[in-house]
């Protein structure tokens, strides 16, 4: 019996796309290189695209059980980014991409009714 997870499509929310654009701009400014910024954003996309088959590998967001997250770092030391996503029947929807230094968990809490 095949127990591998079915491949899903990765979809980026409008918010996540804006956050990724901001990451590109920040890296270009910080390192003075559009090439560096593009390389880093491509690194992030490569990690998020792996969610097509490894979507269960992410950890559950404590404050919102409908969401999961992965940490993306180029090295074990230092900073990186966090992709927050939701799994549906046909897709992995990346809803946010935060810097690891941000208090991102407060930003993904479920809304009060």
State the pLDDT at residue 105. Answer: 81
State the pLDDT at residue 106. Answer: 77
State the pLDDT at residue 75. Answer: 85
In a domain, 63, yes or no: yes
68: containing domain: 9-104
In a domain, 109, yes or no: no
In a domain, 75, yes or no: yes
State the pLDDT at residue 112. Answer: 54
In a domain, 3, yes or no: no
In a domain, 97, yes or no: yes
Q: How many Å apart are CA 92 and CA 45, to the nearest integer?
A: 13
Residue 96's beta-bridge partner residues? 84
The CATH number of residue 47's host domain is: 3.30.2310.20
In a domain, 113, yes or no: no
In a domain, 56, yes or no: yes
In a domain, 77, yes or no: yes
Q: Kindly give, in sequence order, each residue whose CB lies less than 8 Å from that of residue 96, ignoring residues fewer than 6 positions away.
A: 13, 15, 16, 19, 82, 83, 84, 104, 107, 108
State the pLDDT at residue 80. Answer: 93
Output the tens digit of pLDDT for each of the chain's 113 residues. Answer: 555 677 899 999 999 999 999 999 999 999 999 999 999 999 999 999 999 999 988 999 988 889 999 999 988 888 999 999 999 999 999 999 999 998 888 778 765 54
Domain count, the chain: 1
């Amino acid at each position: 019996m095949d127990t591998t997870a079915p491949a899903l499509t990765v979809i980026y929310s409008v918010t996540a796309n804006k956050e990724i654009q901001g990451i590109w701009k920040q890296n270009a400014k910080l390192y003075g290189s559009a090439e560096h910024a593009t390389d880093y954003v491509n690194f992030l996309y490569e990690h998020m695209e792996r969610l097509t088959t490894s979507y269960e590998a992410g950890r559950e967001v404590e404050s919102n059980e409908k969401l999961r997250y992965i940490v993306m770092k180029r090295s074990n030391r230092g900073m990186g980014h966090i992709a927050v996503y939701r799994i549906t029947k046909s897709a992995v929807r990346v809803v946010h991409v935060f810097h690891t230094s941000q208090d991102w968990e407060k930003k993904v809490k479920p809304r009060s009714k």
